[in-house]
A and B are shown apart, each in its own frame.
Chain A
């Protein structure tokens, strides 16, 4: 894990995973939004280069991304108004996070197909992590599982013994911060161990 990917992980986690309620349904919505924004941003960037509008790249790209976020919010109002009310400002956090902006402005111009596959790979990879994280917090912290259905939100209470469990902490924002830090530490630890093994193999080879 290099320094850049650590910063990307921290930025994306602080922007998307930590401030949002630890419900799986919130995770699904935020992940869909992130991937939609990544796709729209990549198309707009390609459009900008195609029509040689590079001088206005920043203004255009940011305007379209913010407008797309507002569109996502309005689609939520149309379909699940409760989620639009609950998530509120959280919907705007992926838009202004360095995860999205970093991939939009940071990379060199590639052919459209290659750029889409490259950007969507990072986005989908992070989405899987985020969904597992939200699912874990929903089951362990809240003791429920929430899903999106055609009728709105489905909630199934899994653990409702009446005893107040210490695991509720994992449903809180400090709990999310602790979880994300533990995952980061474990990830860095495992990667470092693999690097040591590689070095030993190189020396022996």
Chain B
């Protein structure tokens, strides 16, 4: 009888410790994920602005973040952008693409009326950037150019979108 009680206590202690650790980890991760949500959006917005400013200086204003409702959301982010001169709206996407140089964050522009356009690679300058060039000869970039319309179709438009909504 005592043996059964001891063994039950031991098992209870073991499973209690396991459950405690798992619940603790889950709570910690939830807190960090909630804290980092805005940082993810703002950080990637800054990177897109930087790439657009380098490739087409003074032409674009980066606007609101658009939620992508697809698994690709983990490796990409979508923003609305507007031309400074005529107010034309487009989508700017930063997408992790697998290249021969490893994963790189590529920036694309897209609107419904034309095909996606490769703009540049965030945080990459020098000779490898020159080799990649405008991306026309790169199979991976061409693959993403074809996929981007599907990603944008899955993106959730904000309820109000206009010049005033631009940040």
A positions within 8 Å CB-CB of B: 19-22, 26, 51-53, 55-56, 59-60, 63-64, 67, 70-71, 74-75, 77-82, 84-90, 141-144, 146, 153, 155, 157-162, 164-165, 168, 171-174
Q: Is the CB of B17 within 8 A of A86?
A: no
A142 and B29 in contact, given A77-B39, A81-B39 (Cβ under 8 angstroms): no
Contacts A55-B14, A64-B21, A153-B123; A85 near B29 (Cβ below 8 A): no
> Please, which residue of chain A has its CB at the minimum distance from the CB of B43?
A81
Determine whether the beta carbon of A88 is less than 8 Å from that of B103.
yes
Q: Please, could you name 5 A-B residue pairs with CB atoms under 8 Å apart, sorted by A?
A: A52-B14, A56-B14, A82-B123, A85-B44, A90-B102
User: Given that A153-B123, A157-B125 are known contacts, is A87 also in contact with B103, CB under 8 Å in the complex?
Assistant: yes
Are A74 and B127 within 8 A (Cβ)?
no
Given A85-B96, A172-B101, verify A143-B36 contact (CB < 8 Å).
no
A173 and B18: CB pair below 8 A?
no
Partner of B131, one of A21, A59, A153, A164: A164
Interface residues of B (CB under 8 A from A): 13-14, 17-18, 21-22, 25, 28-29, 32-33, 35-36, 39-40, 42-44, 47, 74-77, 94, 96, 100-105, 122-128, 130-131
Q: Which 3 A-B pairs have the closest CB atoms?
A: A81-B43, A21-B102, A74-B32
Given the complex of chains A and B, what is the CA–CA distance between A14 and B94 in angstroms?
A: 27
Bound Cα distance from A168 to B103, whole angstroms? 16
Main secondary structure of the interface of B (DSSP, over half): helix
Q: A81-B47, A86-B103, A174-B100 are in contact. List 9 more A-B contacts (CB 8 A).
A: A60-B21, A74-B32, A82-B43, A89-B103, A155-B125, A159-B126, A168-B127, A168-B131, A173-B100
Knowing A81-B43, A164-B131, say if A63 contacts B21 (CB, 8 Å): yes
How many angstroms between the C-alpha atoms of A74 and B143 in the bound complex?
29
Which residue of B has the minimal Cβ distance to A159?
B127
Residues in B neighbouring A71, C-beta threshold 8 A: 28-29, 32
In the complex, residue of chain A having the shortest beta-carbon distance to the beta carbon of B74: A88
B127 cross-chain contacts in A, Cβ below 8 A: 142-143, 159-161, 164-165, 168
Question: B130 to chain A: which residues have CB within 8 Å?
Answer: 160, 162, 164
Docked pose: A78 CA to B35 CA in angstroms? 8
Cα separation A89 to B130 with both chains bound (whole Å): 26
Most buried by A among B25, B42, B128: B128
